[in-house]
Amino acid sequence: MIPLNDINPHQKPPLMTGAIIIVSALVFLYEKSLSKDALQRFFAIYGMVPARYIDLNWAMERALLQYNPLPFITNMFLHGGWMHFFVNMWTLWLFGDNVEDHVGHVGFLVFYILCGVIANMAHFLFNIHSAVPIIGASGAIAAVMGAYMLIFPRARIVVLVPVFFIPYFLEVPAFFYFGLWLLIQIFSALSSQDSLSSGGVAWWAHIGGFIMGVFLLSFFRKKKRISFLYDN
pLDDT over 80 at 165, yes or no: no
pLDDT digits (tens, 9 = 90+) for 117-162: 999 999 999 988 888 899 999 999 999 999 999 999 999 999 888 8
User: What pLDDT was estimated at residue 223?
Assistant: 54
The whole-chain average pLDDT of the chain stands at 88
Output the domain CATH number for residue 158.
1.20.1540.10
pLDDT tens column, 75-96: 999 999 999 999 999 999 999 9
User: For 169-185, what is each residue's pLDDT tens digit?
Assistant: 888 999 999 999 999 99
CA distance 96 to 213: 12
Of all residues in the chain, the percent with pLDDT exceeding 90 is 64
The number of distinct structural domains making up the chain is 1
pLDDT of residue 145: 97
CA–CA distance, 19 with 25 (Å, rounded to integer): 10
Predicted pLDDT at 141: 97
Query: How many C-beta neighbours within 10 Å does residue 179 have?
Result: 13
List the domain range (segments joined by +) for residue 143: 2-231
Closest to 210 (Cα-Cα) out of 120, 88, 125, 119:
119
Q: What is the DSSP string of 135-180?
A: -SSHHHHHHHHHHHHHH-TT-EEEEEEEETTEEEEEEEEHHHHHHH
One-letter amino acid at 127 equals N
CA distance 17 to 31: 21
Q: In terms of pLDDT, which residue wins out, 15 or 164? A: 15
Query: Which pLDDT tens digit goes with each residue over 40-65?
Result: 999 999 999 998 898 888 888 888 88
Q: What is the pLDDT of residues 180-201, one digit of tens each?
A: 999 999 998 888 755 444 446 8
For residues 160 and 1, the answer to whether their CB atoms sit within 8 Å is yes
In tens, the pLDDT along 19-35 reads: 999 999 999 999 999 99
